[in-house]
Amino acid sequence: MSGLRERLGRLRSSSAEAPTTDETTSSLDLSATPEIPNLSPEFIEIGVRLIDNESGQFLLRRVEYPFPYRHGRYDLADMLTCASHLHPIATRQNRQSPVDAIDPYRLLFLDTETTGLGVGTGNVPFMIGFGYYTETAFVVEQTLIRHPGEERAMLTYLLGHMKDKTHLVTYNGRTFDWPVLVNRFILNGWRQSGQEPGHLDFLHPSRALWRNTLPSCRLSMVEEARLGIQRGEDVPGSLAPALYFQYLADGNATHLHGVYTHNEKDILTLASLCVHFGFLLSGGIDLRSREGIEGEELFRTACWLEQHHNLEAAERLFVQLNEMEDIADSGGWSLALAARYKRAGQHERALPLWRRAAEKAESSSLPKLDAHIELAIYYEHRDKQPLTALIYAEKALELAYRRAKFISDAAKRKDEKETLQHRVTRLKNKVTRERK
């Protein structure tokens, strides 16, 4: 075989973005040391310092936000008063390790910037940003590694800060940031000792509330639409890996300035989001006063509050929903609410919701049949008025035909019609029998 380098060179010349010069001499230089003692001015200008610990070196930036500090709609200091209300979320998310109470000083707000997607072993968090409360301020710290060799020192530092914390506050940290960090611990030869940290991952509560009302549940979308935060110019998180690779290639830390800002803002937003949910659970937010809030969001919020054992606040919202004039029902909340009343045996509260939904269906070009079917069931079995039930069932069958041309699944279409036909026939028999 010809020389390996020659063959490798040929491989390169056949690829499109091949460099034109063909380097064949060995560029191995073992004297290059991983320790880079001097910090470039581009780091110093944004307040980055070099830290030495028992595992090596890494970079650290620390910013304090003394109280009061307002980030969007909320003051971060409000966290100190409303943190205890987050307890139901913590309980729900950490069934294995329940806690008695949430102590704001023992929360670590965490967000990492990584070199890739997914939680494979080759995905390296090059920046770990975290925030925590002191008596007088909210502190953000951001660690950065200038190369993967500094990872161990950075992780050691992070573990130091996790020691007295009970929960990690994250946005999707439970399935992303934390597993990625666990990979790194294992790769560094550390095994888990003692308790896993608890999670307060706000992605899931955010989805529960805004899944149907926001175009997406990305943090940047949520903060702008619901927390009143305007980021202005921001490097999107998806660009962070490319910017880091640029820095690795030319050593110019200016590439990273935007990443630092982005990560810092994410952590502040996490705290702000935390306050939002704290207030929501404490009943400190009057959603009724929010302008333009949709029934859908009220309904989802009410259900979420109910799941988190805040029945009183939930009930207030349910009552309000019943009274709402405008029912722009994008997510189908009125039927869901009616179903809820039905389960609770409160048919009298479900009835008006069904009637309104039925009215709406009749004027729709792609109608839902559910309200009519519910009404038919109610009148047949509850109210014992088979004739009224028959009217609703026949109407439903009519709607089913109108609907049929939009349903591509032939079997489903047929099934729907057959079930309805069966119901209509049975009701007709019943009515005839009663007349006799």
Partner 1 sequence: MNPWTEKTESVEEWLGLLRSRQELMENVTYWHTQPAKPSRSVPMPERVHPKLAEALQQKGITQLYTHQAASFQAVADGHHVVTVTPTASGKTLCYNLPVIQKLLEDDSARALYLFPTKALAQDQVAELQELANLMEADIKTHTYDGDTPPTVRQAIRNAGHIVVTNPDMLHSAILPHHTKWVKLFENIRYIIIDELHAYRGVFGSHVANVIRRLKRICRFYGSEPQFLCASATIRNPQEHAERLIGEPVALVDDNGAPTGEKHLVFYNPPVVNKQLGIRRSSVLESQKLAAMLLKSGIQTIVFARSRVRVEILLTYLQENIKHELGKKSIRGYRGGYLPKLRREIERGLRNGEIRGVVSTNALELGIDIGQLQACVLNGYPGTIASTWQQSGRAGRRQGSSVTFLVASSNPLDQYLIQNPDYFLGRPPEEARIHPDNLLILLDHLKCAAYELPFEEGDVFGGEKLTDLLEFLAEEKVLHRVGSRWYWMEQAFPAHNISLRSAAQENFVIIDQTEGHRVIGEVDRFSAPTLIHEEAIYLHEGVQYQVEKLDYPEKKAYVREVNVDYFTDANLAVELKVLHVDLESTSGPLERQFGEVTVMAKPTIFKKIRLRTHENIGSGPIHLPEEILHTSGYWFSFSEEQSGKRSANDMQMALLGLANVLIHLAPLHLMCDPLDIRVVPQVKALHTKRPTIYFYDRYPGGIGLSQRLYEKHDELLEEAQRLIRGCGCLSGCPACVGPIEEVGLLGKDLALSLLQGMSERS
Query: Which residues contact partner 1 by CB under 8 A?
Result: 1-2, 4-5, 7-8, 10-12, 14, 19, 23, 26-28, 30, 32-34, 115-122, 124, 147-149, 182-183, 186-187, 191, 241-242, 245, 248-249
**Both tokens of residue 228?**
């009143």
Q: Give the chain's length.
A: 436
CB of 272 to partner 1, least distance (A): 29
d(CA 5, CA 22): 10
Q: How far apart are CA 49 and CA 433, in angstroms?
A: 89
- Helices 333-343 and 370-377: crossing angle in degrees, nearest 10, is 20
Q: Which is nearer to partner 1, 26 or 193 (CB)?
A: 26
In what helix (H) or strand (E) does residue 397 lie, and over which residues does it extend? helix 386-404
Q: Compare residues 242 and 311 and give the one whose CB is closer to partner 1.
A: 242
User: CA angle 426-427-430, nearest 5°?
Assistant: 90
Q: Are 84 and 102 in contact (CB under 8 A)?
A: yes
Q: What is the nearest approach in angstroms of partner 1 to the Cβ of residue 125?
A: 13
Of residues 87 and 146, the one with the C-beta less far from partner 1: 146
Could you tell me the two tokens for 35? Answer: 């320790």
Alpha carbon 425 to its chain centroid, in Å, reads 48
| Neighbouring C-beta atoms of residue 175, cutoff 10 Å | 14
Strand order in the sheet with 198-201: 48-53, 56-66, 137-144, 125-133, 107-114, 167-170, 198-201
Amino acid symbol at 122:
G
Nearer to partner 1, 115 or 322 (CB): 115
**Nearer of residues 35 and 434 to partner 1, judged by Cβ:** 35
* Residue with smaller CB distance to partner 1, 32 or 411: 32
